[in-house]
Amino acid sequence: MVHYLIVCRSLTHAQRTAHLLERAGIAGSVIRAPKVISKEGCGYCVRVAERKLTDALMVLRREGMAPRQVFLQSAEGVYSEVPA
């Protein structure tokens, strides 16, 4: 299954991001960022379904919480950065 990972600067930021998305009706789960995409070593991100990314980004921008990075996680487990 294809997902998008919205990279957050901290666990608290990831939790706030997930809460904002939940209030907007978008399911998002907080997970540890995979090492291949985490530049600081330990990071957190919010995973959202492929079809919900556009809505999620609009909600976050409206609330002043634009993401630092967004990655596509393919069904094969390969990560590629996409424009946020």
- CATH code of the domain containing 74: 3.30.70.1530
Who's near 67: CB < 8 A, 6+ residues apart?
A: 6, 7, 8, 17, 57, 60, 84
Report the domain count for the chain. Answer: 1
Q: What is the pLDDT along the chain (84 residues), one digit of tens a residue?
A: 789 999 998 899 999 999 999 999 999 999 999 888 876 666 899 999 999 999 999 999 999 998 889 999 988 889 999 987
Which pTM does this prediction carry? 0.89
pLDDT, position 9: 86
Who's near 9: CB < 8 A, 6+ residues apart?
A: 43, 68
Domain residues for 56? 3-82
